[in-house]
Amino acid sequence: MGSVVPSSRFLEQRIVDAANLSAARRVVELGPGTGGTTRAFLQHLAPDAQLLTIELSPFFHELLGEIADPRLTNHLGSAEDLADILALHDMETPDVVISGIPFSKMPEDVATRVSQAVNDSLAKNGRFVAYQLRRDVAAITDPIMGPPASCELELRNIPPMRVFSWLKPER
């Protein structure tokens, strides 16, 4: 968990906009924590969309299990194993991966493996959106996905958060 305070509605909206959730059909959320952002994402997803959450904490995973929405699949595990988790749940390549996991608190090798897993699993022209307190995610992800397409600061959140967005090129 990157913050002791839940994300503000302003941060949630900034993430929703950066991820273009209304157009997404397959979304993965890494590190959903208590599920506040998860609920916000579900409000913006189409009725036929899928949302897969990957949470490392058994406590938070259990809290997420209380969200009753047929579009939601809740998985206990590590974001490093994204490809295997997608296969386990018969989910095609995601249009969007959203990360709330604090890259600044992870060992660099783990953070690099997570970024590589996102890049490898993301659909062509897909989006990777990471909301972070610090810029560490950019330093880790830039060599893998290139510079972010955007970085916006949301001051109406405690603490203020940066919302980074990468677009996976069609190669």
Does 13 map to a domain?
A: yes
Whether 7 shows a pLDDT value over 70: the answer reads yes
In which residue are the tokens 């595990």 written? Answer: 77
Question: What's the N-to-C CA distance of the chain in angstroms?
Answer: 34
Q: What is the DSSP letter of 23?
A: G
Give the list of residues 6+ apart from residue 22 with CB closer than 8 angstroms, or none. 44, 45, 46
Mean pLDDT computed over every residue of the chain: 95
Does 1 map to a domain?
A: no
Domain, as residue range, for 86: 9-167
Over residues 155-170, the pLDDT tens digits come to 999 999 999 999 998 7
Does 146 map to a domain?
A: yes
Question: Region 98-124: what's the mean pLDDT?
Answer: 96
Does 2 map to a domain?
A: no
Whether 2 shows a pLDDT value over 60: the answer reads no
Over residues 27-72, the pLDDT tens digits come to 999 999 999 999 999 999 999 999 999 999 999 999 999 999 999 9
Does 147 map to a domain?
A: yes
Over residues 127-161, the pLDDT tens digits come to 999 999 999 999 999 999 999 999 999 999 999 99
Grade residue 4 by pLDDT with cuts at 50, 70 and 90. Answer: low
pLDDT of residue 170: 77
Both structure tokens of 167: 């677009």
**Ramachandran assignment for 36, one of left (phi > 0), alpha (psi -120 to 50 degrees), beta (any other):** alpha
Whether 120 shows a pLDDT value over 80: the answer reads yes
pTM: 0.95
Does 3 map to a domain?
A: no
Count of structural domains within the chain: 1
pLDDT of residue 68: 95
Whether 76 shows a pLDDT value over 60: the answer reads yes
Torsion of CA 67, 93, 23, 65, to 10 degrees: 0
pLDDT of residue 56: 96
Q: Which residue in 156, 163, 149, 47 sits closest to 100, CA to CA?
A: 163
Does 108 map to a domain?
A: yes
Q: Any idea what the CATH number is for the domain that residue 152 is in? A: 3.40.50.150
